[in-house]
Amino acid sequence: MSLVMEQPAADVPPKVTSTQAQESTQAKERYDPKYDPLKDKSPGHGKEYAPTYWVDTAGAPPEDDGPITSDMDVDVAIIGSGYTGLSTAIHLAEMYGIKAIVIEANRMSWGCSTRNGGQAQCASGRLKRSQWIERWGLETALKMHRECIDGMNTFKSLIKDIDCDPQPGGHLYVAHRPKVMATLEKEAKLLRDTFDYDAQILDAETVKRDYVCDQEAAGAMHEPEGIGIHAGKLAFGYLRKARALGVKVHPASPVMGWETRNGVHYLKTPGGVVKARSVGVCTGGYTSQGLHSELKNRLLPVLSNSMVTRPLTQDEIAACNFKTNQVITDTRILRHYYRLLPDNRVQIGTRSAISGKNAPEKKYEDMLRADLTRKFPSLDQIKIDYSWWGWVDVSHDMMPRIYQPNPKQSIFYALGYGGNGVMYSAQAGKRLAQWIAGEGHKLDLPIFESKLPFPNVREVVESEMFAPFRRVGQQFLYQWYSLKDEVL
């Protein structure tokens, strides 16, 4: 049942008792490795961070404004304190002088923003440029490419005064099998000739000699845009920047109920009710099914595993021939993302379990370790210092949406990056700020003009009973993708 209720009642917020408010300031939950956004009603209440390399090495989290402890009346509330939510708040303040409040269920940037691979690529969603042309035509595809270039510039501008260990130099897209090279060459030619984007094809010998000796590499496409960053330092830098602009950021304040009356939103948290005239939703892969009816079943949350080794010795670096710190992905559908970090550790990630219940199973860490060894046999016995997983928000058509789903309600969202959110979340926050400030209708790309789609038949997908069965389809898809990646 939806938590959204249109009522003609008087404009009076629901009451929160003093006991509830007191509990909200004290509550702190342990990290839950089995959290699942399709099964759990809420991401939690003041949960600790996942045990990631990024959190452990980012330094102490910056100050925030503490949990909500009383009722509040604000113009703009943003739900979610990750990259998107903080970027939205930053751009609202810088572009429009609007001081939003940011509400977070757990610790600041608790979700994907401190669990990703730290790869900022010139992409939005999961589709390639050639697929944009197939879906939308050449003119729209060219505009979408310009949006990504503009997004990369937005990202660079945001991080220029943030100490987030940037590793510029581009993106190396490694062909994991020889048969992939023909497709990669065709895509690179399209990027150069049609999009004026200097993508270059490298043969296997060049990749292994001049970049990295990934034993699987049958060649690669090198893109000029791509930056590696420290995910935790970036999140904490965004938080400092937002608060310096007057943004109030409240952790341990999960939205437990959402009512809309007379065009005003009442967000119930454990410590008080936030009355807001506009709400921006920036909850990514941690979007609860019951948060709002406009979001239910609009995303497929997918788990991604990541691990970081101990620092490599110089001999080990030489054995892998790591001559680049660029961000690297391979061409698998179930892709790997990896790179050499500034402290000479190797970070690598890929798909994980289907459900949160199974996420802690050691076999997924073992699978990823085997993938690392296949690429770099000399690292077969290397110690893994960090291993974690996190939820990625994938839309059902593989592209994000920054949109106002109901023109009668001042609710806006930026969701569905499909694993390409490190860079594009900065731009999405800017675009979401435009929507909230009343300028969203000037945006004229498909990702700004329609809702997040449902997966198939609406009447079936909207059913409360359907969500678990999506996981069955996902399991079959993973098996098919693995067959295509490794055999066919």
pLDDT at 54: 99
The answer to the question of residue 482 being in a domain is: no
The answer to the question of residue 143 being in a domain is: no
From 360, 390, 420, the end of a domain falls on 390
CA neighbor of 371 nearest in space, from 391, 347, 355: 347
Do residues 351 and 303 lie in contact, with contact meaning Cβ atoms separated by under 8 Å? yes
For residues 341 and 216, state if they share a domain.
yes
For residues 294 and 436, state if they share a domain.
yes
SS3 447: helix
For residues 200 and 280, state if they share a domain.
no
For residues 47 and 188, state if they share a domain.
no
For residues 110 and 242, state if they share a domain.
yes
CA neighbor of 80 nearest in space, from 97, 102, 52, 53: 102
pLDDT at 182: 98
The answer to the question of residue 161 being in a domain is: no
User: What's the distance, CA 9 to chain centroid?
Assistant: 38
From 357, 390, 423, the end of a domain falls on 390
The answer to the question of residue 361 being in a domain is: yes
pLDDT at 456: 56
CA neighbor of 91 nearest in space, from 104, 78, 79, 103: 78
For residues 186 and 40, state if they share a domain.
no
Helices 129-136 and 181-193, packing angle to 10 deg: 70
pLDDT at 333: 83
Distance between CA atoms of residues 273 and 130, nearest Å:
47
Distance between CA atoms of residues 458 and 451, nearest Å:
13
For residues 104 and 242, state if they share a domain.
yes
CA distances (Å), 442 to each of 123, 264, 437, in order? 22, 24, 12
Residue whose token pair is 């038949």: 457
The answer to the question of residue 282 being in a domain is: yes
For residues 242 and 296, state if they share a domain.
yes
Tell me the two tokens of residue 36. 């699942």
- Its pTM stands at 0.91
* CATH number of the domain bearing residue 104: 3.50.50.60
pLDDT at 470: 63
For residues 212 and 253, state if they share a domain.
no
On the 0-12 / 13-18 / 19+ scale of CB atoms within 10 A, 419 is buried
Q: Containing domain of residue 88, as a range?
A: 18-116+232-300+397-473
SS3 337: strand
SS3 228: strand
CA neighbor of 431 nearest in space, from 183, 91, 115: 91
Distance between CA atoms of residues 183 and 190, nearest Å:
11
pLDDT at 364: 96
The answer to the question of residue 353 being in a domain is: yes
Do residues 329 and 173 lie in contact, with contact meaning Cβ atoms separated by under 8 Å? yes
The answer to the question of residue 127 being in a domain is: no
SS3 338: strand
pLDDT at 454: 81
pLDDT at 1: 27
* CATH number of the domain bearing residue 352: 3.30.9.10
pLDDT at 44: 96
In the chain, what is the straight-line distance between the N-terminal and C-terminal CA atoms, in Å?
44
Show the low-confidence residues of the chain (pLDDT under 70): 1-28, 455-482, 485-488
The length of the chain is 488
For residues 193 and 314, state if they share a domain.
yes
For residues 179 and 109, state if they share a domain.
no
Number of domains comprising the chain:
2
Helix-strand-coil percent breakdown of the chain, rounded to 5?
35, 20, 45
From 390, 418, 450, the end of a domain falls on 390
For residues 273 and 329, state if they share a domain.
no
